[in-house]
Amino acid sequence: MKKYIGLRLLQLIPIIIGITFVSFGLMQTAAGDAVDAIYDNASSGVTEQVKAEKRVELGLDKPFLIQYGSWLKGVASGDMGSSYISHKPVFETFISKLPATIYLTITSMVLTIFISIPLGILAAVKRNQFIDYFIRMISFIGNSMPGFFVSLLLIYFFALKLNIFPVMGSNEGWKSIVLPTVTLTIAMSSKYIRQIRATILEEVNKDYVIGARARGIKESVIFYASVLKTAMINIFTLLALSIGSLLGGTVIIETIFMWDGVGKLAVDSIKMRDYPMIEAYVIWMAVIYVVVNLITDVLYNYLDPRIRILEGE
């Protein structure tokens, strides 16, 4: 197991090099650069000579491969550089935004689990009954609405009309987290309810369940001891992937609610062509997905004995 974990972590190196190289190249093809973004909003006109001097200062006058090699060398030595805009260390700035994103991730996942798992199980147990149709209809409606639309509806009713929660920002304690959490939960729960229902119904029709029924085992025992336990492994995978997405920062939601997390930081950095900050976000996304998938695989080993047999452990 330790060897397996070590090999998976080593995979991070080529993955990070590959995606950062591609993203760095794509940024070079964009119209304008950080210097243009810095001086576009200047109150007075800025000469091209001033811009050229700024590019030399930031190293943007060098060829693409030299810029990338210099940046990669710095990252390898633990220095992710400084922001082109704020001139603050990239690593410290990025880390300072993580708590807000982690907070939003935890609240969204907890609420999603409490909603989607019970409703998905109930829909499967009451298959083709009124409650099943009702739950599926609600989940279909929730799944069909874009996140930005849901967020605007919530802001209109609960912030502007009822004045219960703040419109945006994170300055009012727990009230600030409610609307972005509910927005994310509606989207995720709507998707997971249907997937949980489908997973359980698939398990119910397998041979081991039919055999258990033939032996006279109670339906409740079959469901809770076998079906639900097996189905939870697949459900856990879906939830783990969502954790990765949330930790990467829900760009649209964080931007709409002005939630000061890594998603909003990424959007602001892209607008300002802040290349070092964008690359920090790219590295974070790569690390998150590799680590989350690794943790999922390791837990699989302990939850499902068949996987250990297949791996020869």
**pLDDT tens digit string along 53-63?**
877 887 777 88
Q: Round to whole Å and give the CA distance between 286 and 282.
A: 6
At residue 44, the pLDDT reads 59
- Token output for 302: 């302990």
Averaged pLDDT of the chain = 81
Structure confidence at residue 77 (pLDDT):
85
Residue 286 contacts residue 19 (beta carbons within 8 Å): yes
Q: What is the pTM (predicted TM-score) of this model? A: 0.80
The pair of three-digit structure tokens given for residue 39, joined into one six-digit string: 């001086």
Predicted confidence at residue 124, as pLDDT, reads: 87
The amino acid occupying position 293 is N
Residue 29 has pLDDT above 80, yes or no: no
Distance CA 170, CA 162 (A): 19
**DSSP-assigned letter for residue 82:** B
CB-based contacts of 158, cutoff 8 Å, min separation 6: 164, 165, 179
CA 222 distance to own-chain centroid? 35
* Higher-scoring residue by pLDDT: 192, 7: 192
More confident: 227 or 311: 227
Question: For residue range 121-170, what is the model confidence (pLDDT) as tens digits?
Answer: 889 888 889 999 999 999 999 888 888 889 889 998 998 888 888 887 76
Distance, CA of 230 to CA of 212 (rounded, Å): 15
Q: ∠ CA 139-142-143 to the nearest 5 degrees?
A: 85
Residue type, 236: F
Q: Which residue has the higher pLDDT, 142 or 43?
A: 142
Domains and CATH numbers, the chain: 90-310 (1.10.3720.10)
Q: What is the pLDDT of residue 302?
A: 67
In this prediction, residue 252 carries a pLDDT of 83
